[in-house]
Homo-oligomer: A and B are copies of this chain.
Amino acid sequence: MKIEVVKDILDANEEWAKENRRFFDGAKLISINIMASPGAGKTSLIMGTLESIGSCAAVIEGDIASTIDAEKIGTLGVPVVQINTGGACHLDAAMIKKALERLDLKGLKYLFIENVGNLICPAEFNLGEHVRVIVASVPEGDDKPFKYPGIFSTAQAVVLNKWDTLSYFDFDFERFKRGIYSVNPEVPVFRVSCKTKEGLGDWIDWLKGLTY
């Protein structure tokens, strides 16, 4: 019988998260936990960002199953590790610790951690990251911050992807922002299209402005 003591699990996760954070700080590596619905464009955002900032980053890819995303990232020649959670709905700090042992991070500036596609469970698990970024997308609709307030409340930045498809969908950007600001009033919201590259500059400037 599998017994989970939820508080103990979260406490243990916090311990691993602290250890990861010490590692990131020691290595002067800015770590970014990227969370989103399935298909919002997490991998596309990471790829678009890597193409712009060059080879100063590594990537940890989290998925229930498959190595599709790690293979895509691998084409860019940056260090990448795929974590398959085997059913678990989020990454946790212990998974990240293990993945870090498999990455050569010397001299790098950024670590992107792509979480499992899920707007709920990943928010509960601190990975030790410096910043959390939520990727949303126009086709998902402008009501997502109202329906998933928890995850939006924890973000240091929100990236709204697929902005190029705006004319195709019934999406009110002001309503979307209202939903976010109701739980996270100061957070920057970037409109981008990873397909056309529109708007990626502002996001990358923000990223470059991150310091310890």
Contact = CB atoms under 8 A, between A and B. Distances in A.
A168 B165 CA distance: 8
Range of interface residues on chain A? 35 or more
Interface of A: 1-7, 37-39, 63-66, 68, 87, 89, 116-121, 137, 139-141, 143-144, 146-150, 162, 165, 168
B89 A147 contact: no
A38 B144 contact: yes
A197 to B, nearest CB: 15
Contacts of A37: 37-39, 117, 140
B64 A147 contact: yes
Given A39-B141, A139-B165, A165-B139, A147 B6 contact: no
B116 A118 contact: no
A200 B116 CA distance: 31
